Chain A
Amino acid sequence: MLKYALIMLTGTFIASVSQIVLKKAAEKEYPSKIAEYLNPMVMGAYIVFFGASLCSVLGYKKVPLSLGPILEATGYIWVAILGRIFLGEKIGAKKATGLLVIILGIVIASFGPNIVDAIR
């Protein structure tokens, strides 16, 4: 399952990159509603986003649906890191704590029984 989980996580990273591009695009002014969507940045971001959805379908071959969205929460971590690099968004102490808590949640959901067994 690990291989499929990694494919899904790669897809989440790709989707996060497209979210950053979309945020950049949303900050711009456009002459019309159509131009808001039909411009290279937004269209490119969505093409990449659809590519990420393929990774998701591949991942779901073995990853249970009940775990998929939890793994996809890694997107918050990527968005924070990429936002810091490309949008200059700050990561304060509280946000950093939150990112670690998200990782903890993913670890509990993914490896919970193994961790309990290891402790025992």
Chain B
Amino acid sequence: MKKDTLKWFIILHVIILIFSVNSICSKKAAMYDFLSPKWIMFYAIVIFVLGFYAIAWQQVLKHLPLITTYANKAVTTIWGLIWGYLIFHEEVTVYKVVGALVVILGVYLVVSGDEEVNGKSSKNNQEVNENA
């Protein structure tokens, strides 16, 4: 893995972690009445996080293949389990853990399946980008 790719890979995971905060605030907002001050406050954070994500994601897409970004985004399922347990004291059942792991496996298959079909063209694009 090239140093630049590693750098963007780490940035990607920081962005995914920040994005997972969005779910916490969505859940928090949902606990209050629609358009009540606290609902507005938490939804404002949701919008702020989405705004940050929008800008950051567009930049990450330029440095990493779409399939890499999407495959790694699947870890939000694990963050959901962690935040649900820690913040909302939700029951994390074995079904949820197995389901999340199966989803991640499925995402890996989807992404690697994409690589096999589009691998050659992706590689060529990467070479063009590196030369540019």
- Chain A residues proximal to chain B, CB less than 8 Å: 22-23, 26, 36-37, 42, 46, 49-50, 53, 56-61, 64-70, 72-73, 76, 79-80, 89-110, 112-113
Known: A66-B90, A68-B23, A95-B109. 9 other contacts (CB 8 A): A49-B54, A64-B90, A70-B103, A96-B113, A98-B108, A98-B112, A98-B113, A101-B106, A104-B106
Q: In the complex where A64-B88, A68-B27 touch, is A53 in contact with B99 (Cβ < 8 A)?
A: no
Q: In the complex where A93-B113, A104-B102, A105-B102 touch, is A64 in contact with B84 (Cβ < 8 A)?
A: yes
A56 — nearest CB in chain B belongs to which residue? B26
Taking a contact as CB atoms under 8 Å apart, the answer to whether B113 and A97 are in contact is yes
Q: Is B118 an interface residue (CB 8 A)?
A: yes
Distance in angstroms between the alpha carbons of A93 and B110 in the assembled complex: 9
Distance in angstroms between the alpha carbons of A68 and B24 in the assembled complex: 10
Contacts of A49 in B (CB 8 A): 50, 54
Chain B at the A interface: mostly helix, strand, loop or mixed? Answer: helix
Taking a contact as CB atoms under 8 Å apart, the answer to whether A76 and B99 are in contact is no
Of the four ranges (under 10, 10 to 19, 20 to 34, 35 or more), the interface on chain B belongs to 35 or more
Q: Is B93 an interface residue (CB 8 A)?
A: yes
Q: Is B92 an interface residue (CB 8 A)?
A: yes
11 pairs across A/B with beta carbons < 8 Å?
Answer: A50-B50, A53-B22, A57-B29, A59-B30, A66-B80, A68-B26, A69-B76, A92-B114, A95-B110, A101-B103, A109-B96
Q: Is B130 an interface residue (CB 8 A)?
A: no
Taking a contact as CB atoms under 8 Å apart, the answer to whether A102 and B110 are in contact is yes
Taking a contact as CB atoms under 8 Å apart, the answer to whether A73 and B27 are in contact is no
Taking a contact as CB atoms under 8 Å apart, the answer to whether B58 and A94 are in contact is no
Contacts of A46 in B (CB 8 A): 50, 54
Q: Is B98 an interface residue (CB 8 A)?
A: yes
Q: Is B17 an interface residue (CB 8 A)?
A: no
Taking a contact as CB atoms under 8 Å apart, the answer to whether B103 and A109 are in contact is yes
Taking a contact as CB atoms under 8 Å apart, the answer to whether B99 and A70 are in contact is yes
Taking a contact as CB atoms under 8 Å apart, the answer to whether B99 and A105 are in contact is yes
Q: Is B47 an interface residue (CB 8 A)?
A: yes
Distance in angstroms between the alpha carbons of A103 and B102 in the assembled complex: 9
- Min CB gap A107→B, angstroms: 8
